[in-house]
Amino acid sequence: QCQLSGLWRNEQDSLMEISALMDNGDFQGKYLTRVTLTGGCARASPLKGAQQQPGEGGWPTFAFTVRWDKFSNASTAFVGQCFVDSGGKEALTTMWLLREAVESLKEDWKATR
């Protein structure tokens, strides 16, 4: 079974640390990004999320949000699934949407990546 809690590193060399899951699947942690909108140095930001409890033999899905409030007026929502390969290595696959603040409704079209 895939364990979501622990320390994870992505292909951009960012780190994510997820605390132990609560009985209901909720979790929290920190995301240390190496990629910033401002080009600044890496900073840790809080994350909160929930894991869907997998059915028998299934791989768990999850979602979490990260607030980049210490260095950017943006938020990111991630959704994904946890897998274990044939060698026993755990892997998370995710997709994300990042929302930046813009100055007006006219600029809304460029606010989400």
Q: pLDDT digit of tens for each residue in the chain (113 aa)? A: 788 899 998 888 888 999 988 989 999 999 988 766 556 666 788 999 999 876 666 788 999 999 887 667 889 999 999 998 889 888 999 999 999 889 999 999 999 98
CA 26 to CA 64: how far, in whole Å? 9
Q: What angle do CA 32, 35, 36 make, to 5 degrees?
A: 95
Which residue, among 62, 79, 73, 58, has the nearest Cα to 5 in the 3D structure?
Answer: 62
Torsion 102-104-107-108 (CA) sign: positive
* Domains, the chain: 6-110 (2.40.128.30)
